[in-house]
Amino acid sequence: MEKYWKIFYNGIIPGNPVFVLLLGMCATLGTTSSAMNGLMMGVATAAVLVCSNLVISLIKNLVPDKVRIPAFIVVIATFVTVLQLVVNAWMPALNASLGIFIPLIVVNCILLGRAEAFASKNGIVASLLDGLGAGIGFTFALVLLGASRELLGTGRLFGATIYPEDYGMLLFVLAPGAFIALGYLIAIVNKIRKVS
């Protein structure tokens, strides 16, 4: 049981895909102009990550080594396509908000990295927990970055007004603000990791 806990926990804090491994920066920087966008992108990516890890763990012995990476990409692309169709059909506002970033989940390094490094070498339960842990860690990072950018840029948090928008710094809602906020959050996380 402790082994499974370590696998799950590793993706959340010690091996956080954004703050520690610096993976998935396109989605991280592009979709986190608000906390809600960060949450939705994180949940979407986590769902694909869990499902693809599960399937890749199931088919790992059936796929020849020469076509392993393309096979993994096809599995990931299948789940992303299903996700995009579901979002487009039932959540058009979310589809409009995240736009091109949903199809770009296919090329997110986190998914292929977890498939190659973990799911292709471990059992179903361990792969499922690894995907879930990395997905939660990615979602946590996106929500934290989106919340800080939204709060500093507009004075709101998840759409609720915290202070008047006149006092917000527009820079944090724009692309350069994503880099600045992410840099400070990475520095804070590194400091906390060194202390503990």
Domain positions in the chain: 36-185
User: Which pair of structure tokens corresponds to residue 149?
Assistant: 């950018």
Phi, psi at residue 121, to the nearest 5°? -120, -5
Q: What is the pLDDT of residue 70?
A: 94
Helices (H), 118-174: 124-154
**What's the pLDDT score for residue 107?**
87
User: Which is nearest to 134 in space by CA: 74, 67, 46?
Assistant: 46
**Of all helices (H) and strands (E), which one includes residue 161?**
strand 160-161
Enter the pTM of the model. 0.93
SS3 36: helix
Residue 119 DSSP label:
I
For 42-110, what is the HEC assignment? HHHHHHHHHHHHHHHHHHCCCCCHHHHHHHHHHHHHHHHHHHHHHHHHHCHHHHHHHHHHCHHHHHCHH
Residue pair 27/102 in contact (Cβ under 8 Å)? The answer is no
Question: How many Å apart are CA 184 and CA 196, to the nearest integer?
Answer: 19
pLDDT tens for residues 42-85? 999 999 999 999 999 999 999 998 999 999 999 999 999 999 99
Q: Which amino acid is at 47?
A: A
In a 10 Å sphere around its CB, with 0-12 CB exposed, 13-18 middle and 19+ buried, how is residue 124 labelled? middle
Kindly give the parts of the chain with pLDDT less than 70. 196
Tell me the residue type at 34.
Answer: S
- In this prediction, residue 8 carries a pLDDT of 93
